[in-house]
Every structure is written in C-alpha cells, then in structure tokens.
Amino acid sequence: MSSSAKLPQRRDQPEPPAPQEVQERQVQIHLRKIPLLSELTDEEILQVRGELRFRHYPKRSVVLHKGGSGDGLLFLLSGHLQVVDVTEDGRSVGLRMLSAGDFFGEIALINDSTRSASVVATTEVLVAFLPATVALHLFSHSPSVARKMLGHLAQKIQRDSEFRALLSINNTTRRIFTYIALMQQTDGPDGTRVVENLPTHQDIANMINTSRETVTRALLTLVQQGVVQKEAHRLIILDPVALQRLVQGG
C-alpha cells in the first residue's frame, strides 16, 4: 500500500465484543512493535489504527473459537496466547504459543474459511481486530506487508514440519528436550542461549502430549545436570551442545 493509497471503507461486518478504552498513544506504540506493520508509513499506521477494534481478555478466556468466521486478522499487543485444538476423545492439544507482536487468524482470512483451531489466553491479553476487507487490502497493496506475510507462512510450514517430527518421538523425555531446543532463543552471554517468556509446564505438556509432572521432572533433570538455569519466565540454556546431545539420545 503506497502512502497515497487509502484503505477501503469498512463494510458491514460482525463486530467483536465491545472493547475497553485504550489511549491512542499507547496503541500507536504497540502497533509499531508488530513486525507485520513495522514498515508502514505514519499515515498508513494511522489509517490501520482507525480500523482496529481493541479488546482486553482475562486469563483462560477463549479469544477465537474453532469453526468461527474468518472475518478478520488479529494482533496480540500484550500477553500470551496458545493455539489449541480438541481431539476426538476430548483432549486439548496445544499447537503453538503466541506472544506480543504476533498475529493470528490469517489462514481462515486468506482462504475465506472458518477458524481451524481455537485461541486461548494463557495470561491477561490485549488483542486488536482488523476487519477482513482492510487486512486483505493491506496484503495486496503493501509490498512490505505482503513480503512479511509470505515469510511468516514459509516459517509456519517449517515449524509445523518440525513439530510433526517432534510428536513422532516415542521417548517422552527426548520429546521435551527437543521441544525446548526448538523454542525461539536469543543469544546470551558466554555462548548461552535464552528462551524468553517460557510457557508454563502445563502449556508445554499440552503442546507435546504429555503430563505436567513429566515436564517438571525433565526440566529438573536439565537443571541438575547444569544444562539449563530456570528463572520465573525464562530459561537460560547454559550448555546448548549438551542439550543437543540429549535431543539426539546421547
């Protein structure tokens, strides 16, 4: 979308639940932190902001329901979400975690289909809803948004492939170690790696089809062996090489 391109007028669409008031300046700061929108001009950001609807959700509430209409694109502005599905026997299976700056609902939007999974708040969250007509206009008129969306979809395919391979590991402890190794990491001091916003043990268990107690024991083993250091909401991988050996069954 060039700086001269205007977003289409919003047509009649199902409105999300009435949002709580959020100061405009605060929203502007949040929007600049969303990678998908980061290269838009100030004018374009203001246009997008004018179309957004904001909503606070408490912890454990359902933000999106499986089977719902793909009527827009959603941005997570603060907090954490988990994408979940329910198996035929009624078990809740975590598919992936979302953190501030992530967007979701893109597949149903692009395919003009219903939601393929539910999204649940694992903390209190602030979510922004962008109507379908406006989001699709961005995809087709903004080269930076289109490029970032293509990159996101390519990474999603790769992550899904890695996750399927992870679930095929029969040894539960190795499955947990592999999941930790696949989590998004940043460089720490002296060759360490850091996992920020570490999910709860129950969230990890839901993701890899095991129990919370098994996750707790596996992490305790890593701590006792000096492979990781666990803090409240982050995990410091002190010895990435040792973790890889455990992933490989060594």
Q: What CATH number is attached to the domain comprising 225?
A: 2.60.120.10
Q: Which residues pair with 229 in a beta bridge?
A: 236
Residue 33 lies in a domain: yes
Q: Which residues pair with 81 in a beta bridge?
A: 98, 121
Residue 75 lies in a domain: yes
**Same-domain check for residues 150 and 29:** yes
Q: Which long-range contacts (CB under 8 A, 24 or more apart) does 132-138 make?
A: 132/13, 132/70, 132/71, 132/72, 132/73, 133/8, 133/10, 133/11, 133/13, 134/7, 134/8, 134/10, 134/48, 134/51, 135/72, 135/73, 135/109, 136/109, 137/1, 137/7, 137/8, 138/1, 138/7, 138/48
Q: Is the pLDDT of residue 46 over 50?
A: yes
**Same-domain check for residues 39 and 116:** yes
Q: Give the model confidence (pLDDT) of 182-227 as tens digits.
A: 887 888 888 889 988 888 898 888 888 889 999 999 999 999 999 9
**pTM for this predicted structure:** 0.72
Report the run of H or E that residue 62 belongs to, with start and end: strand 62-64
Residue 163 lies in a domain: no
Report the run of H or E that residue 129 belongs to, with start and end: strand 125-131
Instruction: State the virtual CA torsion across 151, 155, 156, 157 in degrees, nearest 10.
Output: 110
Give the number of domains in the chain. 2
Q: Give residue 156's pLDDT band: very low, low, confident or very high (50, 70, 90).
A: confident
Residue 212 lies in a domain: yes
Q: Which residues pair with 50 in a beta bridge?
A: none
Q: State the residue for tokens 């002296």.
A: 190
Q: Which residue has the higher pLDDT, 59 or 7?
A: 59
Q: Which residues pair with 55 in a beta bridge?
A: 127
Q: Give residue 7's pLDDT band: very low, low, confident or very high (50, 70, 90).
A: very low
Q: Give residue 107's pLDDT band: very low, low, confident or very high (50, 70, 90).
A: very high
d(CA 15, CA 231): 40
Structural domain harbouring 73? 24-154
Percent helix, strand and coil across the chain, each to the nearest 5: 40, 20, 35
